[in-house]
Every structure is written in C-alpha cells, then in structure tokens.
Amino acid sequence: MTEFFVSVLRFLTGNSRSFHSILVSLVLVVVGVVVAWILTLVGLGLIVWSLYLYLTGFFNPPVAALLTGIVTLVATVCILFCLRFFKINREKRRKREILNLFSRLKRYPLEATLLSLITGLLIGISPDMRRALADGITWFLRHNLFEEEDRDRSKEKTD
C-alpha cells in the first residue's frame, strides 16, 4: 500500500508547482472549515450554557437543565423544518426548469438533434472545447431563456 502512495507522489511531483499550490489551497480550505465548525459549536455551547445559568436563577438545576434541553430541541426542529422548506422550493424550481427545457426540445426537434450531434463531436475532440462549450451553454441559457420568457409574457399580456 505504501508503494502505491509513493508512486502516486512521484507522479505528482512532476508538476510540483501546480500540485503544491492545489495542496496548499486544499489544506487552507479544510482548516478554515474545521475552525469554523469548532467556533460554531463553541458558540452554540456557550449560548446553551448561558440559558442554563439564567434558568437556574428561577428554577432548581434539574428543571433548568430540562428546560434548556427542551428549548434546544425546539430550536433544532425549527431549523430542520426551515431547511426542509427551502429544499422543497429548490426541487420545485428544478422540476420547472427541466419541464421548460423539454418543452423547448419538443418545439424544435431538428435543431435539438443537430445541436446534440455537433456537441458530441466537439466534446469528443478536445478538452478545451469541452470547457468552452460548457461555459458557452451556461451563458446562453442564462441570457436567452430569461429573455424569451419575458417576450412570451409580454405577448400573452397583449393578446
């Protein structure tokens, strides 16, 4: 197993500058995420602890701990409910976009077929073409889909 890792590292050291910069970036991102999680957990722990200390002024310690736990669980359920609500809206939007794409493909079958053939040819030829084509398609979809939807809405209003 160690021979495998040594051979992989020897292979990667051929491009040591790019590998080193990627590795440094990766380590910085991972360290940043870990530090953020630790600080978040410490902050939440301090909030819960302060709630417990506040409640001990009104109740005995076991009841204060019980109320702190209940408040924490209620807050967790509220957060999970909000996250689920946002996820549902995102899925509805994605389904609407997919249905919009399929309706356009049904409206223009010849153009869709020719475009898919040309795209397959370009993707198979060059990796640079793959990247450029992906950038071009995302730009085209962002700009033209919204403009055409606005034109369709204005036509519907005038009819």
pLDDT digits (tens, 9 = 90+) for 106-128: 888 888 788 777 777 767 776 77
In a domain, 6, yes or no: no
Distance CA 85, CA 77 (A): 12
Domain count, the chain: 2
In a domain, 4, yes or no: no
In a domain, 144, yes or no: yes
Q: Are residues 103 and 113 in the same domain?
A: no
Q: Which residue among 72, 88, 107 closes a domain?
A: 107
Give the domain extent around 135: 109-159
Q: Are residues 39 and 103 in the same domain?
A: yes
Distance CA 36, CA 90 (A): 26
In a domain, 19, yes or no: no
Contact at 8 Å (CB) between 67 and 59? yes
Q: Are residues 95 and 115 in the same domain?
A: no
| pLDDT tens-digit series, residues 5-51 | 566 566 556 555 666 677 777 788 888 889 998 998 898 888 888 98
